[in-house]
Chains A and B, each alone.
Chain A
Amino acid sequence: MAGGTVPVPTPETEPFWAGTLAGELRVQRCNRCGRHYFYPRPFCRYCQSADVAWPVVSGGGRLVSYVINYRPLPPADPAEPQVIALVELDEGPRLLTNIVGVPPEPEYLPLDGRVQVEFQPRGDQALPVFRMTGPVPPADDGQAR
């Protein structure tokens, strides 16, 4: 991706961004109910327990949806289309991200296709972006997520 805004961590989200700078995707998990949750906060989004951990997750997931944005706003490069995507991690949480490493064309972006995280520098931070890893899964069974 050719530029864009730079995230500013808060005390509650700093471990996430420290992780991306270290090449790790850290997603909080609740020690009481066992669920991963996103975005970061110091208590569980599902059961409000403060007993939560910062494990490093696999970084694997699937492509849920996307747009190919032909009109990026500054500070992104307006001439470079962006694949703005929703990725569901294997651990459950969903992230908004970019798909990189393929031409920004629908034929390279099969929904439910496997993706894997990688990290791209952005200002003084690193952004978690995803690459399609294939193979393309069988046709959707029509069931909601």
Chain B
Amino acid sequence: MTGMHGGNVAIIGASETRDVGVLPDRSMIQLHAEAALAALADAGLTAADVDGVATAGPLPLEVSHHLGVTPRWLDGTMVGGCSFMLHVRHAAAAIAAGAASVVLITHGESGRSRVGVGAYRANPASAQGQFEAPFGALAPYATFTVPALRFLHERGMSRRDLAEVVVAQREWAVGNPRALRRTPVTAEQVLAGPPIAYPFTRDMCCVVTDGGGALVLTSAERAADLPGGNHAVYLLGSGEASEAPLMSQMDDVGSFGAFRRASAEAFATAGVSHADIGHFMGYDAFAHLPLYMLEDAGFVGRGESGAFIADGHTRKGGSLPMNTNGGGLSYTHTGMYGMFAIQEAVRQLRGQAAVPVPGVTISFVQGVGMFFGAAGSLVLSSRRP
């Protein structure tokens, strides 16, 4: 072991729940358990082999005890939907430091059916409850979306650029039988759809689903001796960053500093350049997020994200296939989508995706959490350098 990056730590088990979508027959904690046991089976391991557990939502001790795991390392980092990117990064550090040997990262959320979870209420004495919620900034579609017009305005872009994100990603979803929205759409149809929160229409907002996913990480050395080692995915680099707990207090409404910082650290620690990236997962709870990410992570220049997508660069055969499961906009979104973005990157790197990208060896995964509050970035590879 010589450090947490550079392929020294591997994902050797990865699985989602056996289905995703509308699952009223399973509680939140069962979604964690189902995904965890499937990921362990995928790795060729059992719960007895796990000595580290990370999760967000329930406490890691709840998941550990529920599964019958006795951990010596726990991580309950909760920064919203990108928590799992941070868990991968933290697990790699723990494994490299010898604080854990086999780490299980779990996600499960009954986001649509709300089985086994309480109703969400903002604390009216919190900063959010005092300074945002009274003005109607409660639902994600009326909060996470507010910066978008500024982004478009500063670049001379328009609502059509939001619609083109939907169109490009729906093309991927059409070929994915697990995706919730699978009907091809045109930009005109997206723009004419039911209005949710101007400038956003329905299909510019993510689906709302139930589901879960889990990952198993260990050292590359140990991976080589395990059944899961033959489909190991290696962590080349990573980054994490946070900004304001209130969307209204982000440093720059038209660009997210945490995307810039986390992605820059991921590229620097991986020692790769943008030209090396063959696949991109960009957490898309709403259609403006891939536009921010492509620019803030440096894949395109300022103001170029809309044309990049509209011209087909993120579609099949394009230079940067993006959100190839259909994304949160079309595939699934339980509330904390980050786990599913990582799962699709792993599937692509293993050659197991529903719609595979031929020859992809390095994937970049960009997460966001807490409505422009936090970011996590991973550089994953099918090859150990």
B150 within 8 A of A: yes
Question: How far is it, in angstroms, between the C-alpha of A14 and the C-alpha of B150 when the chains are bound?
Answer: 31
Q: Give the A-B pair count, Cβ closer than 8 A.
A: 138
Check A86/B135 contact, CB under 8 A, given A94-B248, A96-B248: no
B198 and A8 form a contact (CB under 8 A): no
A5 and B124 form a contact (CB under 8 A): yes
B283 to chain A, nearest CB (A): 19
B22 within 8 A of A: no
Nearest A residue to B245 via CB reads A39
A70 and B133 form a contact (CB under 8 A): no
User: Which one of A8, A38, A68, A127 lies within 8 Å of B125 (CB-CB)?
Assistant: A8
B296 to chain A, nearest CB (A): 12
User: Which one of A39, A72, A142 lies within 8 Å of B127 (CB-CB)?
Assistant: A39
B149 and A67 form a contact (CB under 8 A): yes
B136 and A144 form a contact (CB under 8 A): no
Kindly supply a per-residue 1/0 record for chain A positions 33-56, scoring 1 wherever the CB is within 8 Å of any chain B CB and 0 otherwise: 000001100000000000000000
B318 within 8 A of A: no
CB contact list, B127-141 vs A, under 8 A: 127, 129-139, 141
B156 and A142 form a contact (CB under 8 A): yes
B147 within 8 A of A: yes
Check A73/B138 contact, CB under 8 A, given A7-B130, A144-B154: yes
Which residues of A lie under 8 Å from residue B122 when comparing CB positions? 5
Check A65/B147 contact, CB under 8 A, given A5-B134, A96-B246, A140-B154: yes
Nearest B residue to A105 via CB reads B198
B194 to chain A, nearest CB (A): 8
Which residues of B lie under 8 Å from residue A140 when comparing CB positions? 153-154
Kindly supply a per-residue 1/0 record for chain A positions 3-34, scoring 1 wherever the CB is within 8 Å of any chain B CB and 0 otherwise: 01111111001000100000000000000000
B276 within 8 A of A: no
Question: How far is it, in angstroms, between the C-alpha of A145 and the C-alpha of B146 when the chains are bound?
Answer: 16
A101 within 8 A of B: no
A142 and B130 form a contact (CB under 8 A): no
User: Which one of B134, B198, B200, B253 lies within 8 Å of A127 (CB-CB)?
Assistant: B134
B196 and A86 form a contact (CB under 8 A): no
B198 and A71 form a contact (CB under 8 A): no
B153 to chain A, nearest CB (A): 5
A: which residues have CB within 8 A of B?
1, 4-10, 13, 17, 38-39, 64-73, 76, 82, 84-86, 94-98, 106, 111, 122, 125, 127, 129, 140, 142-145
- Contacts beyond the supplied A68-B198, A76-B136: 15 A-B pairs with Cβ under 8 Å: A4-B135, A5-B122, A5-B133, A7-B131, A39-B249, A65-B150, A65-B153, A70-B195, A72-B136, A72-B142, A73-B139, A84-B136, A84-B146, A86-B248, A140-B153
